[in-house]
Structure 1
Amino acid sequence: MATHHYSRRTFLRGAGVVMALPWLESRCVWGDEPGKARPASEAPVRLAVLFSGNGFHSKEWWARGEGKAMELGKVLAPLQDFRERMLFVRGLFHAEARKGNIHSSQTGNILSGAPIASGGDIRSGTSFDQLLAQTYGRSTRVPSLVLGCERSNPAVHKNYSMLYSSHISWSSPTTPTPLELYPALAFDRLFKDESTPGDRSVLDAVMNDARDLRRGISTSDQRKLDEYLDSVRDVETRIENAGKRGELQGWRPTLDKPNIQRPADGIPQDIAEHMHIMCDLMVLGFQTDATRITTLKLNNDHSALRFPNLPSVQQVGHGIDYMIHHLLSHSDGQDWMKVNQFFMEQTAYVARRLDAIQEGPRTLLDNTMLMHCSSMMAGARHDNDQLPVIVLGGGGGRIKGGRVLDYKDKPERQLCRLFMSMMDKMDVRPKSFGDAKMALEDL
């Protein structure tokens, strides 16, 4: 595997702060040596995995046709603009995940396909994002960024630890990769030497170095640098404002005296804003090359999230907060559809942001593999004989979108075959992974 070495101008530096640069045509950011930049087509490939628990509407997760003519089920409606950049993958599954038939046993190995230990023990398998982080991640300051919007659950449910349903990324078979629920701390990890909160703006700390760099780059790169610095400032400001509202460090009442019990720290009050900031951090991490591998767990399997931000169709005048996500998944009502589409909107949001960032002849979306998956097809049935999976982006020009790949009636339909194919696009080629011995040729 070829790694990208840092050039002298890969980072902007300040007191206690190191901030990676975006792609610049007039500077060697991802080249082997200063003055010997790699072609723009060799910008690094990124992996982003978004997960939402409890499956989707049983009758509206589907796609037919190709390219612009591709038709999408209602769940996928938010991705209408990305049909030509999307792979709809049907029929893949994990054999090991079918043994427990409960949320935890179906989620803890979603990115590994490994056997799951029962009886409250913790043993799964190293997930493919972390296998990439152990190799491809050596080229970045942060090997992988693992984000979440719902805290982990340490309980046991029907003989399986709920830690399985709370974690999709595993650093080793016995170690779930810690989730970062706090956007501010995730931001610090990307841009500060230590993950400790500070009062000084990251942007202020590196501004002198940025001014020096600006004098030696082209006019188009100056515009790109300015846009990048503006995006950093925007995320800083939004995190600061959300923190003042009490949304990111635990719930805080808006009354002089609370009339309900204060919830635990770390659960945001505004779930839509929380998810959007996490999505922005994912994009910013890729844009700066601070990391090339990110997982974002939008919620747990067996999730307790509610959605007061979404107007209810079934209970007019109310938000969809009358029932937790897990129980709502046991129906195919209109509110369940709205929640499904809300999750797909997060993927569309990331795709739109990535596609707006130019990296030479390609966009950042062209250089990314953006996967959205769940651990079951329909929550009402816990159906995981085939798993819902879509992949957006070009994988560095190695993936052709606008297609439906159907493996439902094929004998070798391990989901781990897809993971092997995705690892191959990042020049990591294990002889086997999970229960798969070969990659998918169609990718």
Structure 2
Amino acid sequence: MALPWMESLRVWGQEAGTTAVTGQAPTRFAVLFSGNGFHKDHWWARGAGQQMELGQVLQPLQAHREKLLYIRGLYNEEALKGNIHSSQTGNLLSGAPLEAGGGIRSGTSIDQLLAQTCGQTTKVPSLVLGCEKANPSVHKNYSMLYSSHISWSSPTTPTPLEVFPALAFDRLFRDDATKADKSVLDAVLEDAGDLRRSISRRDQQKLDEYLNSVREVEQRIARAGSRGELQGWKPTLEKPDKARPADGIPQDIAEHMRLMCE
């Protein structure tokens, strides 16, 4: 939580401002990866707009064809280096060279760069799902973690996968109180107390006024939320339109994939 300017504290810089809330839905970015590729005879598109023709696999997108951009001929030179499994997956969303010899280094993937920029407008900044747990072994001099992750939070950190449908559901829809859900002030009161002992009396008064104003804002937001008065974009559903999946991992792979996509 940022503090107001105080004469007792040295100013090191100024953080960039946040984007104002609007009535538009948050920007979304989704990547669907199929490890074994797609049948090219059924995965195709011709033309554009209302005249676009879609192959059998893409038929469910027929109603949205005016918004579709079908891109061909993408090329990732780094994917041709190393072995066929790890080297064609670990840099899929970054194009970065992969470290061999069992080390771990790729590149921050585009989905995580977008999450860092746009993810603060949604309850979950980034949701990475999968149907198989990560494989930590080494194959042909390359870590199999590359083949387990297309999403990378940093060049050395693959983004953790959620493979349990029920836990993915809970992350999106459960509203149980956690540390992140509690008052901002409650989370920083101890630090505020330490700071108060090291600043001038004038700054102590300013700090108290500031913390009280934050508490008032929190209370107003809570009251407005309970009355349904918050402005800006709201989801079209007040509660999930699908039941929570059963605990555990489905034994049927097709059912597992369907649940994770839904």
Calculate the TM-score normalised by the size of structure 2. 0.65
Superposed, 1:337-376 pairs within 5 Å as: none
Distance apart, 1:81 and its partner CA: 3.0
Contact 1:188 1:194 in 2 (8 A): no
Larger Rg over CA atoms: 2
Contact 1:3 1:136 in 2 (8 A): no
- Say if 2:56 is the partner of 1:85: no
Runs of 4 or more consecutive aligned structure 1 residues displaced over 4 Å after TM superposition = 208-212
Counterpart residue type for residue 115 of structure 2: A
Cα distance in 2 for residues equivalent to 1:152 and 1:274:
16
- Say if 2:242 is the partner of 1:228: no
Cα distance in 1 for residues equivalent to 2:171 and 2:151:
18
Contact 2:27 2:118 in 1 (8 A): no
- Say if 2:92 is the partner of 1:110: yes
Counterpart residue type for residue 244 of structure 2: R
Cα distance in 2 for residues equivalent to 1:158 and 1:128:
27
Q: Which residue of the other structure, out of 82, 85, 101, is the alignment partner of 1:119?
A: 101
Cα distance in 1 for residues equivalent to 2:176 and 2:31:
24
Cα distance in 2 for residues equivalent to 1:117 and 1:211:
49
Distance apart, 1:272 and its partner CA: 4.0
Distance apart, 1:82 and its partner CA: 2.7
Structure 1: stretches of 5+ with no match in the other structure = 6-30, 32-37, 196-207, 244-248, 250-266, 281-443
Distance apart, 1:194 and its partner CA: 4.1
Q: Which residue of the other structure, out of 89, 96, 117, is the alignment partner of 2:78?
A: 96
Superposed, 1:7-26 pairs within 5 Å as: none
SS in 1 for 2:32: strand
Superposed, 1:6-405 pairs within 5 Å as: 31=21, 38=22, 40=23, 42-100=24-82, 102-190=84-172, 191-194=175-178, 212-214=226-228, 228-231=237-240, 234-235=241-242, 237-239=243-245, 242-243=246-247, 249=248, 267-280=249-262
Counterpart residue type for residue 155 of structure 1: S
SS in 1 for 2:227: helix
Q: Aligned in 2, Cα 1:81/1:101: closer, same or farther, shift over 3 Å?
A: farther
Q: Aligned in 2, Cα 1:48/1:230: closer, same or farther, shift over 3 Å?
A: same
Q: Aligned in 2, Cα 1:230/1:138: closer, same or farther, shift over 3 Å?
A: closer
Structure 2: stretches of 5+ with no match in the other structure = 1-15, 180-221
Distance apart, 1:159 and its partner CA: 2.2
Contact 1:147 1:181 in 2 (8 A): yes
Distance apart, 1:101 and its partner CA: 5.1
Cα distance in 2 for residues equivalent to 1:139 and 1:69:
35
Contact 2:90 2:98 in 1 (8 A): yes
Q: Aligned in 2, Cα 1:209/1:147: closer, same or farther, shift over 3 Å?
A: farther
Number of residue pairs aligned between Structure 1 and Structure 2: 202
Q: Aligned in 2, Cα 1:185/1:192: closer, same or farther, shift over 3 Å?
A: farther
Distance apart, 1:87 and its partner CA: 0.9
Q: Deviations over 1:301-321 (max 9, x none)?
A: xxxxxxxxxxxxxxxxxxxxx
Distance apart, 1:89 and its partner CA: 0.4
Q: Aligned in 2, Cα 1:66/1:58: closer, same or farther, shift over 3 Å?
A: closer
Cα distance in 1 for residues equivalent to 2:158 and 2:115:
14
Higher-helix-fraction structure? 2
Q: Deviations over 1:20-54 (max 9, x none)?
A: xxxxxxxxxxx3xxxxxx3x4x4431111111112
Calculate the TM-score normalised by the size of structure 1. 0.40
Counterpart residue type for residue 213 of structure 1: R
Higher-strand-fraction structure? 1
Give the CA RMSD over aligned residues. 3.2
Q: Deviations over 1:43-83 (max 9, x none)?
A: 43111111111212244432211122222233333333332
Distance apart, 1:212 and its partner CA: 4.2
Contact 1:4 1:139 in 2 (8 A): no
Cα distance in 1 for residues equivalent to 2:92 and 2:225:
45
Cα distance in 1 for residues equivalent to 2:258 and 2:226:
32
Q: Deviations over 1:111-138 (max 9, x none)?
A: 1110011222211111011112223224
Cα distance in 1 for residues equivalent to 2:85 and 2:159:
19
Contact 2:50 2:65 in 1 (8 A): yes
Q: Aligned in 2, Cα 1:193/1:51: closer, same or farther, shift over 3 Å?
A: farther
Contact 2:99 2:105 in 1 (8 A): yes
Q: Aligned in 2, Cα 1:3/1:277: closer, same or farther, shift over 3 Å?
A: farther
